Structure formats: C-alpha cells, structure tokens
Chains A and B, each alone.
Chain A
Amino acid sequence: MKEYEKTGVLSIEDLRLPSEEQLKKGVAVIECVQNIPCNPCVDACPVKAISMRNINDIPVIDYDKCTGCGNCVAVCPGLAIFLVKTKDDTVFISIPYEFLPIPNVGDRVEMLDRRGEKKGKAEVVRVRRAGKTTIVTIKTEKRFAMVVRNIRVKDA
C-alpha cells in the first residue's frame, strides 16, 4: 500500500521530476499517479508532449518537448497539473485555483503544501482565467518548487 492511498498526500518519490535544465525552461508537472479513465491533457497538448497508450494509462510527459504553455493545467479535470519554472533562486508556480476571492496581480497570498500546511507568503505575478478555473502564478523561493501546490487568498 502506497502512503498516498492512506493520506491523499503524494511524496516526491511518487513523481517523475524534471531536471534543473528542464525546470529553467518551465514545464508542466503532472501529479496524476493512478490508472484512471481520463485523457484531456493528451488532447490539449499542442506539441504532443503528453502520451498515453490507452485512456486508463498514467500520462507520461516528455519534458524536453513540453513548452510550458499551460493548456493542460487549464483542462485537467483532477486539477493535478502545475507549471513550474525556475529562474536563479526563484520559482514561478502556476496553480489551478477554483475558490473565491480570485487574487490580483501583486497580491500577497499564503502558500500551502500538499497537506494544506502554510509555507509562508508569495507574490501573485499572473492571473489567467480558463473558463471557471483560474490559473494563478506565484513567485517564491526556489526551494518551494516541488513543495507548494495551493494558495489561500482569504487569510493573506
């Protein structure tokens, strides 16, 4: 039994991570680890970087092909895809967000990890509406690249 099946929280070991170089370019990190019948991310990718042999497969992303466009982030029904792009000591994390209020560029928001635990504050640098899902990009310290996966606007 995997730990996440008990807790709902993934660990880094459960994921196939991009390299430093790939992160600099900016790529989609897909946190989808189970064989569920779902494939909109494959259809959404304009460069065919995400592949799946059949609909129940786990999506496999070719980080070299991925351009970090974010189409898959907007379409993923599980809200399980995040864009991560590093620059020197900072990281830009784009998170699918479906709560109110929607933050504005320049706002300081609370960062949360996969457990919902607070990790300090970050600045919102981009807000993009994709239907009713909003994709919020925050800028923070590089060490949070694979840690922060949610934001809380209200308490900020």
Chain B
Amino acid sequence: MRIKKHPILEFDREKKLRFYINGKELYGYEGETISAALFANGVTTFSRSLKYNHPRGFFCGIGKCSSCLMTVNGVPNTRTCITPLKEGVEVKTQDAYADLPGTKHKRHKKKVINTDLLVIGGGPAGLSAALEAAKHGVNVLLVDENPFLGGQLIKQTHKFFGSREEKAGTRGVEIAQQLRKEVEKQENIRVFLKSTVFGYYECEQNHCFGMVKRREDYTEEIYELHCKSVIFACGAMENMLTFPGNDLPGVYGAGGVQTLMNVYGVKPGRRVLMVGSGNVGLIVSYQLLQADVDVAYIVEGLPTIGGYHVHAAKVRRCGVPILTSHTIVEAYGDERVEGARIAKVGKNWSIIPGTEMDVKCDTICLAVGLTPSIRLLSQTGAEIRFIREAGGHVALHNKNMETTVPGVYVAGDGSGIEEASTAMLEGKIAGFSAAYKIKNKAFDSKPLKLYHEELERLRDGPFGVKGRKAKEKIAVQWSDKR
C-alpha cells in the first residue's frame, strides 16, 4: 500500500526498520510513524472497543483524537499517529482497558525554562508568529507535538491561493520548508518537537506551563515553562459525523488520509467515498487520484458544492461525480469498511425513501468541517464563547489577537476556522503584538497596519464571509465586555 511514484512528492525510504505488532514481525521505514508503518503493512485495526469488542482504527492522523492509542514498548495510550517508528519497537493493541503505567514512568525530575514568548503549535500560524516575534528581538520557545514543524502545510501538495505576500502559487509543502528554514536561521527561536504543553499553572508575574517531551526511547522528560507572553496556535481537529458504522476502521478524517498519503506515502485504501465537498473534501479527493486511489463519489449534504469551483472542476474532469443533496446513511463491513449506503436528502435533512444507493469502497473520508482546539487555552481563564461561524468554541480576542487574559494570544484555526493564508497573517499579527508589548513599544508599529489590511482583503470575497462574520461576532462580544 506504499506509493512508489508520485507526480508531486518524493518519499525517502532509505533505512528499513523491523518492528513487532503483538509479537508478529513487520517492516517499516525510518521517518514513518508507527501508524503509517502499520497501514503500509495492511494493519488497520489498532484496538477493540470496551463493550462490544468492535474493531477500531485511526481517525485524525495528527495527534488530536484518541483513536490510534496503542501500547508502545510497554507505554500504554501512545498516540501512534505522531510517534516515530524505531528499530525493534514492540507495538501492542490495547483492547478494552489498558494497563496503567508502572512506577518506572513516574517521578520525573523537571527542568525549568524561562523565555520571553512561548508559541504553542508549529503550523502556519505558529511558525509565522515565532518568526515575527524573533525578528523583533524577542526570545521564542516554539513547541509542537509532531516530529517536524509545518503543521498541516506539510501535506498540502496543491498550489496556494491568495497573493504573492502569502506565497500564492507555491505548494503548501514548499511553504512549510521555507518557513522551517527561516526558523532554523533565527538564533533566538528554540524549537521543541515531539513535545506537548499539557497544563497552565498559576504563578506570579508571568505565565507558567507544564510540558512533556518524548525521548527517542519513548520515555518522557518533564519541563516547567515560564514566559512573559504566550501564543496559542493549536489549530483544529476534524469533525466526526454520526452514522451507523462510523467507528469501523476505514472511516477516517480527510486530514488523516492526507497525512498518510502525502507525508508518509501510504495509501489509505483502494477506493474512497468522500463525504463533504468543501475545499478539504475536494482537494483531498484530487490528491487521492494523484496517489492512484479511486474516488467513487463525493457526497455533499447541502444543495451546492461548498468549496471553490476550480477545485471541484479538477476532480470532475477526472470523472469523479459530485452528488449534492446526498449524505452517507451507513458504513458496513466486518473487520473494516467494505462499502457504504448513500441517499438523497430532502428538506430538514431527511432521507428521501427509495433514493438509497450502495457504494463499494474500502475507505470513507470525512471532510465535514473542523473544530478549533482550545482545551489548553481554556485553562488560562481566557473568556470562551461559542461562535458558530468560527467552527465552535473560541477565545474572545481583540484585533491584535490578544485574549481577555493579558499576554495570552491566539492565531490561526484555533481562533476560528479559516485557511492557511489567514492563519499566517494572524500569526504575524499575534507575534508582532506580543513582541511590541514585551519590548515596550521599542519599534515602529507600521507593519501591523499592513497585516491588518491584507487580512481584510483576504476575507473580503464571498468565500471569506464565514471567517469575516466569525471575527465580527468576536469583536462585538469583545467590546461588550469592555
């Protein structure tokens, strides 16, 4: 199931690694995660459910959900989708209840790090924020859970929209490389990868966080972080959809499939049903075709296609039908997805009897929106509100991305779902504002105005309406508070 040749990407498979699943020997490659290596070997069941012993597989592929938890070298509840494969690793499915770790995993000695600015999340928003602040002389600590920086940019093989300032015409994966190189050049940015900021603690004068760093041998180190300001650029997670069979291995988030395919060069299956025709659904469908995977249909519950027409046109002229006013009724299969039933929806989202259709497929991709990741952020006490257009609960913030807690900033999808171009600009604004405060306004604030203008331009068209509305509502609620 590995992709051998790809029109856009090259996959580095130099070093072969041996590993074990429940004692059975398998092979993967250096640079792959445990999940990707399992997929490449045709292993799609990662655990079984508590009560009914149902097979369970992976879902989000980016460390945000808990579907891929397995026991790795004796450490239970390891997120195998973001854990790199190592020689001789023993992976075990943890059915029902996992054994809790023994005393050898407790009693860590903590290390303490002091920094001006902590940036949590190394995607387009976090990278832009870190760079912007570092350019103004601020010391930055940049933390990300994944083995590499770039967030979701690293799997975007299509050329970006927007204008030259946001690197339009450049593929997301190349933008990630550019930003990564710029970060490496900045001496005042310290990067922690494979590290999770897990909690906010009260302390005087500054902000304090706990962080765990995963070592090469899967053990962990604990850190106590102190910072003057913090930027949350934690992104978002894929939404689930409710239908019978949605827990079967083979039902994956579109982003998870994209990660498997474009980062690790592993095909999710042979034939896919895509649910959702927003830009994510359309783009991932096109990328599946590029990886030589069939796309049976794209179904869309609404009467019109959600994403850009140009993305729809690309998959249509390859012969993939887009069925608007259609939804998935159920997924079926024993150990994994063997097919799905789809049907036409009428008013009030009811299924029109007699329109049901069987679709043979081994993979169902859900591209039905994203929810901002705010769980850590909410620990700071920043005021959180439900804003429908933002994709869920978000922190109230002002124009400069500062929340109701002074020194706590947000940027990117974590502050309301939009896309990478706006995330990069929000990151720049948050990074600039944080630096401006830390350095006591010691430099010209003119760039900030330009970033705001550019952001406004991007949100100006009909496809920017959701983001624009979300930010307007946030602004209104922010001023009501004052």
Q: Which residues of A contact B (CB under 8 A)?
A: 1, 4-10, 31-40, 43-44, 54-56, 75-80, 98-100, 102, 112-117, 132-133, 149-150
> Is B314 an interface residue when CB atoms closer than 8 A count as contact?
yes
Which residues of the partner chain A approach B171 to less than 8 Å between Cβ atoms? 132
Q: Is the CB of A116 within 8 A of B319?
A: yes
Q: Is the CB of A36 within 8 A of B310?
A: yes
Q: Is the CB of B316 within 8 A of A9?
A: yes
Q: Is the CB of A8 within 8 A of B322?
A: yes
What secondary structure prevails in chain A residues at the interface with B? loop
Q: Is the CB of B310 within 8 A of A79?
A: yes
Which residues of the partner chain A approach B459 to less than 8 Å between Cβ atoms? 37
> Is B320 an interface residue when CB atoms closer than 8 A count as contact?
yes
Whole-angstrom distance from the CB of B175 to the nearest CB of chain A?
12
Which residues of the partner chain A approach B315 to less than 8 Å between Cβ atoms? 8
Q: Is the CB of A1 within 8 A of B6?
A: no
Closest to B421 in A: A37
Can you report 10 A-B residue pairs in the complex whose CB atoms are below 8 A from each other? A32-B310, A35-B463, A36-B310, A36-B461, A40-B169, A78-B314, A100-B5, A116-B319, A116-B320, A117-B319
Whole-angstrom distance from the CB of B299 to the nearest CB of chain A?
13
Interface bracket on B: 35 or more
Q: Is the CB of A98 within 8 A of B318?
A: no
> Is B290 an interface residue when CB atoms closer than 8 A count as contact?
yes
* B287-299 vs A, Cβ < 8 Å mask (1 yes, 0 no): 0011010000000
Which one of A1, A4, A149 contacts B309 once the chains associate, using CB atoms below 8 Å? A4
Q: How far is the CA of A99 from the CA of B314 in the complex (A)?
A: 12
Most buried by A among B160, B161, B311, B462: B161
Closest to B320 in A: A116
Q: How far is the CA of A117 from the CA of B319 in the complex (A)?
A: 7
> Is B26 an interface residue when CB atoms closer than 8 A count as contact?
no
**A8/B463 contact (C-beta < 8 A), A98-B7, A100-B6, A116-B318 known:** no
Q: Is the CB of A98 within 8 A of B290?
A: yes
Whole-angstrom distance from the CB of B174 to the nearest CB of chain A?
9
Residues B282-331 near A (CB distance < 8 A): 289-290, 292, 303-305, 308-320, 322, 324
Q: How far is the CA of A78 from the CA of B445 in the complex (A)?
A: 35
Q: How far is the CA of A50 from the CA of B409 in the complex (A)?
A: 40
Whole-angstrom distance from the CB of B169 to the nearest CB of chain A?
4
Closest to B279 in A: A36
Q: Is the CB of A149 within 8 A of B305?
A: no
Which residues of the partner chain A approach B358 to less than 8 Å between Cβ atoms? none
Which one of A34, A37, A114, A115 contacts B457 once the chains associate, using CB atoms below 8 Å? A37
Closest to B319 in A: A116
Whole-angstrom distance from the CB of B463 to the nearest CB of chain A?
6
* B340-377 vs A, Cβ < 8 Å mask (1 yes, 0 no): 00000000000000000000000000000000000000
Residues B149-184 near A (CB distance < 8 A): 158-164, 168-169, 171
Whole-angstrom distance from the CB of B294 to the nearest CB of chain A?
13
